[in-house]
Structure 1
């Protein structure tokens, strides 16, 4: 398996660790996101390692791509346990974890590990969907419930979850989010209004690629029209550059639904910019 472009070959030197989480056991429309980590790495090899946005090279960032975690097919509970345990081990080694999904439920294990290491953790969630259902198809753990579980089970308070770009949810999710999280529908412009609250505390960023309009990111399992542009996503990351980001995930890239690899290429570029910003 190829490593992400610019990856160091020495774990001890790394500040960040990239790990793939190839699981799509809870996909509700179509599967395929288990193939996302490999596709993102493959497309990264066609990027320049140099960023014209920041005039820096990702090869100069101390990060190490450890490859994909060995997750049991179809067993979401065990997979989450492996993600959490592995993330904890890297955090104990003073590393920060950048997780490549996989369906969005993989974020739960990484957020759980980060919240144990940094009790005052805040989560910034960029997504088309609120992911705040209490249950989906009878299950409490799903890519449709992941942020509800993270808010209730990982964070010191549900108001430590900040959600941007949301353009799809149930009425119950909307009511719960407006009362229990910081829910900002439709775009990412409100991020700048929240920077003071997010400054000086550990922040975990969770990016579902479907926050981007499917015209620019078709390779995802649950496309939702009306999203942001790739440029708006990159600008949002730039706006958060002063935050203490201790963990990141990028999820829901589904290569079988992609066209010419453009969604995986976008994800690879987002990862490059994130590593340069916080590496």
Structure 2
């Protein structure tokens, strides 16, 4: 007998402030613990569990938004259980889970995992929200056609996303690394804010308007000084303060879904990146 998608969710640790029932919540937190295509330093599959653990070390109240997790209803549904090493089947389970949650009219907040895990969630979202726009906050363009001969990779994820949402419906913020071919493709097909971040806000707000927005946040958009625990650190990034301020600004858009990816606990220093990740999740839950 075929399993129902939500049967692939397993709860091992719970993010602080989660309510007790899926039915009570309009926001749902899920973990996507996959790092099979990570090309430099693996370990992001451990992030969803560790971020939940360290979330107990921060407050439920946000000074940036004057709101608390106590004021909203969100449910931590656990991690999607995936077959280790099987990229295709893992992505299919994530997509099926996302589709069922969207069918229940839930807003999804996902914790990766490598950046490829954004693809199945965005694929599901594009079918539920006409005219979906994706905002990518990242150090890397992730627009390669393939990486080491593989078309499904953390380095190709936004190339696939563009095929789903369409030309000029991808906004890329903070990009400071890519091949010449990737950046030429970006200038032609996406909205590339090369080495720009907070300063891009007015422009993207005017351009996007009220269209539905999915936000994909790769933690390496931050400078490694603020987020050392990641698989592919890239110098010259934004500060944690700039990122937190940007999340509050983005709350002014019609944000329908969110993911945070590429935190790698084995490469962290004193859980600093995981703790920051927990704070980012808190701000996203409150802002969007």
Into which bin does the TM-score normalised by the smaller protein fall? over 0.9
Partners in 2 of 1:79 and 1:61 — Cα distance? Answer: 31
- The equivalent residue for 1:169 is 178
Q: What displacement does 1:2 show?
A: 2.1
**Offset from partner CA, 1:208-228 (integer Å, 9 cap, x none):** 000000011000000001100
Give the alignment of 1:137-152 within 5 angstroms.
137-152=148-163
Q: Please tell me whether residue 60 in structure 1 is matched to residue 74 in structure 2.
A: no
Partners in 2 of 1:62 and 1:249 — Cα distance? Answer: 18
Aligned length: 276
Q: What displacement does 1:119 show?
A: 2.3
Give the alignment of 1:1-279 within 5 angstroms.
1-152=12-163, 154-155=164-165, 157-188=166-197, 189-278=199-288
> Runs ≥4 in structure 1, deviation > 2 angstroms?
none
Q: Which runs of 5+ in 1 are unaligned?
A: none
Q: What displacement does 1:80 show?
A: 0.9
**Offset from partner CA, 1:225-254 (integer Å, 9 cap, x none):** 110000111111111111111110000000
Q: What displacement does 1:126 show?
A: 0.1
User: Residue 45 of structure 1 aligns to a residue in which SS?
Assistant: helix
Q: What displacement does 1:192 show?
A: 2.2
Query: Is the CA contact 1:105–1:146 (under 8 Å) kept in the aligned structure 2?
Result: yes
Query: Is the CA contact 1:5–1:59 (under 8 Å) kept in the aligned structure 2?
Result: no
TM-score (norm 2): 0.94
User: Residue 44 of structure 1 aligns to a residue in which SS?
Assistant: helix
Partners in 2 of 1:197 and 1:174 — Cα distance? Answer: 21
Query: Is the CA contact 1:17–1:97 (under 8 Å) kept in the aligned structure 2?
Result: yes
Q: Which runs of 5+ in 2 are unaligned?
A: 1-11
**Offset from partner CA, 1:36-85 (integer Å, 9 cap, x none):** 10111111111111111111111221110011110111111111111111
Computed over aligned residues only, the root mean square deviation of the Cα atoms, in angstroms, reads: 0.8
Q: What displacement does 1:17 show?
A: 0.6
Partners in 2 of 1:31 and 1:123 — Cα distance? Answer: 26
Partners in 2 of 1:220 and 1:15 — Cα distance? Answer: 30
TM-score (norm 1): 0.97
**Offset from partner CA, 1:72-102 (integer Å, 9 cap, x none):** 1111111111111100000000001111000
User: Residue 246 of structure 1 aligns to a residue in which SS?
Assistant: strand
Partners in 2 of 1:270 and 1:18 — Cα distance? Answer: 13
User: Residue 115 of structure 2 aligns to a residue in which SS?
Assistant: coil
